[in-house]
């Protein structure tokens, strides 16, 4: 499990994306000779090691582990960086104020290939995939139903993952679909439309090569690519390719007829229905809490709700390190120290949920773990503007984490719930709200107890009789389902709602602070006591209308405080004052890669 096998010959340096100056003779001498490729890629066991090397790049020091995952997707109408008031480079990555010289990302890789950051490390993974794809095609006879066929499908899918994330982070990128050589060392960016069409086609090929979950030993864990994930990723990419986004000239949809809404939405709907009609393809977990407890317990059995996860070794990866409910020191749950709590849900999200929605208390946590005494910490209430993501909890793990920097918990890259919401969205667009209703109902049936489903599920969804009403409901449901998973930003961009919803979020947070508008009835005082374990809190006053103390055994807590906006302006910095978020939907290419591109790479969007 969580293997990180690197074939030495596949370590083609990070100049793959950065295009640093290199001797062309080196590039003309392949890292793996033709003879070696014929041996490696004609053997399933050897080829598997090479393909595992593609995944190794996810866990590198400044890769997904410590750069892309902690920052991409923050500052939406649901999530934000809790350090926005710090005014540092990390905050700038979140609040639409990044520059090409951002110190978190603009890392010079020369002399230290492990120092590649986002952009360079993604192209390193792509190069490894390109070598595997070429070798398997030439020497592997990769047919459906064979191990070598599976490995080709996995390689195509992993390359698509890297490109999918490059596209959503940077917009137009360099299209590299063959191993690098001296003639292709320096390349300019291609239109994202070209890349989208290629990886969507690649996934069409891959889905014929990889089995369904648990159909073979190759697909029995969520760390291995399977047909459900390939189809779902293809649907996600089709929606992204046809959606609104900032092109160099304007925010618009693609003008490429092959990426039209009609074609891409039909492709996405077909892929989703193919998944939903197959009982072995996956399913929603029985409850939202069960889903996230299984995740934190590192249950990687395939065929459930998690479709594919970025696999981290037990001493690698920072999902809880970054996103978990905050811990103040080494305690009974972990030995990493003061970890978690770097980001959280906007303070309005808890109150936007229906009080009966079971997702609310799993998603939004109003406490942290305080300073430990004899390595035992208690829960402590925090300020109204500081909430934590409850989907990530050390206290739900079954493994005690001792590493100071990494927790090893995987990143869920895609869930079955997203398939249902994509099916609802595309069915609504192509066939109308009645066709979308059954998919939306499935999501809400899991969220609400059977006793209230007649109102909260059936009556609610049945009342959505227009395309507009159904679409608006899907947008809201997406927030309730995915807050904290960093899927929201790309969705808002493709819906052309990023700027609108961010501006609305600022107003809503001000209203909450002032207890006005839709938050006029939010209580200003919480009441709390410790349960019998003397560690966990019993809290009263979180719900609207809970304004009277439940008893003398409860202590009171002022529930009005936001950080001082003069010294730590988090709310106004949801996006930087004076910045149009629609002009900053993408990060710039970092200067080190621009400088090393022999004049081929430039930034758009007025960077």
Give the CATH number for residue 243. Answer: 1.25.40.900
Same domain, 238 and 324: no
Same domain, 341 and 397: yes
Who contacts 61 (Cβ-Cβ below 8 Å, separation ≥6)? 114, 115
Which one-letter DSSP state was computed for residue 173?
B
Mind listing the pLDDT tens digit for each residue in 165-205? 999 999 999 999 999 999 999 999 999 999 999 999 999 99
Q: Which of 212, 224, 213 is nearest to 151 (CA)?
A: 224
Q: Which of 492, 509, 549, 494 is nearest to 525 (CA)?
A: 549
233 domain residue, yes or no:
yes
Same domain, 387 and 431: no
Number of domains in the chain: 2
Give the domain extent around 492.
211-308+416-496
Provide the whole-model pTM: 0.94
Same domain, 339 and 407: yes
- Decide which of 477, 496, 515 is a domain's last residue: 496
429 domain residue, yes or no:
yes
Q: Which two tokens stand for residue 210?
A: 């990889």
pLDDT score for 94:
96
Identify whether the C-beta of residue 384 lies closer than 8 Å to the C-beta of residue 559. yes
Same domain, 275 and 395: no
- Decide which of 442, 465, 496 is a domain's last residue: 496
Q: Which of 511, 587, 607, 577 is nearest to 84 (CA)?
A: 577
274 domain residue, yes or no:
yes
504 domain residue, yes or no:
no
Same domain, 425 and 444: yes
pLDDT score for 570:
86
- Which residue ranges of the chain lie beneath pLDDT 50? 1-32, 111, 113
Same domain, 380 and 462: no
Mind listing the pLDDT tens digit for each residue in 437-465? 999 999 999 999 999 999 999 999 999 99
Same domain, 229 and 293: yes
502 domain residue, yes or no:
no
Same domain, 228 and 295: yes
- Decide which of 496, 531, 558 is a domain's last residue: 496
Task: Give alpha helix (H) positions in 140-276.
Answer: 147-170, 192-206, 227-242, 261-276
């Amino acid at each position: 499990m969580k293997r990180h096998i690197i074939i030495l010959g596949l370590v083609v340096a990070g100049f793959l994306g950065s295009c640093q100056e290199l001797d062309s003779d080196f590039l003309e001498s392949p890292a793996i000779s033709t003879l070696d490729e014929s041996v490696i890629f004609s053997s399933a066991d050897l080829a598997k090691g090479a393909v595992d090397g593609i995944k190794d790049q996810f866990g590198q020091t400044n890769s997904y582990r410590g750069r892309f995952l902690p920052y991409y997707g923050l500052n939406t109408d649901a999530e934000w960086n809790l350090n926005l008031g710090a005014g540092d480079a990390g905050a700038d990555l979140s609040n639409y104020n990044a520059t090409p010289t951002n110190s978190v990302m603009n890392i010079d890789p020369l002399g230290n290939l492990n120092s590649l950051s986002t952009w360079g490390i993604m192209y390193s993974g792509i190069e490894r995939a390109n070598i595997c794809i070429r070798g398997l095609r030439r020497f592997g006879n990769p047919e459906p139903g064979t191990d070598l066929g599976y490995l080709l499908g996995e390689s195509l899918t992993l390359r698509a993952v890297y490109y999918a994330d490059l596209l959503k982070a940077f917009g137009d990128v360099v299209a590299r679909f063959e191993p690098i050589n001296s003639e292709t060392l320096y390349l300019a960016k291609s239109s994202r439309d070209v890349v989208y069409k290629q990886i969507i086609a690649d996934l069409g090929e891959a889905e014929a090569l990889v089995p369904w979950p648990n159909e073979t030993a190759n697909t029995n864990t969520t760390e291995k690519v399977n047909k459900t994930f390939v189809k779902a990723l293809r649907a996600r990419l089709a929606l992204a390719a046809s959606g609104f986004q900032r092109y160099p000239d304007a925010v618009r949809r693609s003008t490429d007829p092959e990426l039209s809404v009609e074609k891409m939405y039909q492709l996405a709907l077909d892929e989703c229905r193919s998944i939903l009609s197959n009982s072995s393809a996956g399913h929603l977990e029985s409850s939202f809490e069960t889903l996230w407890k299984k995740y934190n317990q590192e249950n990687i059995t395939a065929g459930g709700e998690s479709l594919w996860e970025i696999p981290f070794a037990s001493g690698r990866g920072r999902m809880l390190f970054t996103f978990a409910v905050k811990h103040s020191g080494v305690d009974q749950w972990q030995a990493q120290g003061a970890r978690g709590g770097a980001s959280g849900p906007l303070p309005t999200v808890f109150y936007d949920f229906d009080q009966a929605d079971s997702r609310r208390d799993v998603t939004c946590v109003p406490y942290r773990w305080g300073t430990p005494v004899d390595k035992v910490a208690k829960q402590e209430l925090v300020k109204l503007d500081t909430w934590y993501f409850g989907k990530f909890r050390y206290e739900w793990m079954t493994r005690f984490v001792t590493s100071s920097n990494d927790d090893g918990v995987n990143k869920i890259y895609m869930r079955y719930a997203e398939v249902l919401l994509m099916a609802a969205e595309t069915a609504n667009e192509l066939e109308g709200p009645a066709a979308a209703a059954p998919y939306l109902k499935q999501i809400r049936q899991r969220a609400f107890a059977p006793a209230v489903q007649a109102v909260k599920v059936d009556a609610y969804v049945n009342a959505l009789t227009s395309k507009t009403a159904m679409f608006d409901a899907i947008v809201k449901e997406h927030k309730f389902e995915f807050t904290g998973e960093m899927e929201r930003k790309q969705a808002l961009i493709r819906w052309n709602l990023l700027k609108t919803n961010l501006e609305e979020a600022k107003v809503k947070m001000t209203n909450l602070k002032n207890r006005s508008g839709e938050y006029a009835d939010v209580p200003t005082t919480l009441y709390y006591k410790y349960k019998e374990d003397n560690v966990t809190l019993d809290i009263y006053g979180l719900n609207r209308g809970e304004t009277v103390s439940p008893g003398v055994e409860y202590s009171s807590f002022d529930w009005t405080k936001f950080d001082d906006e003069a010294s730590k302006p988090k709310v106004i910095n949801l996006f930087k004052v004076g910045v149009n978020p629609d002009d900053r939907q993408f990060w710039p290419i970092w200067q080190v890669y621009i400088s090393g591109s022999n004049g081929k790479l430039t930034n758009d969007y007025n960077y």
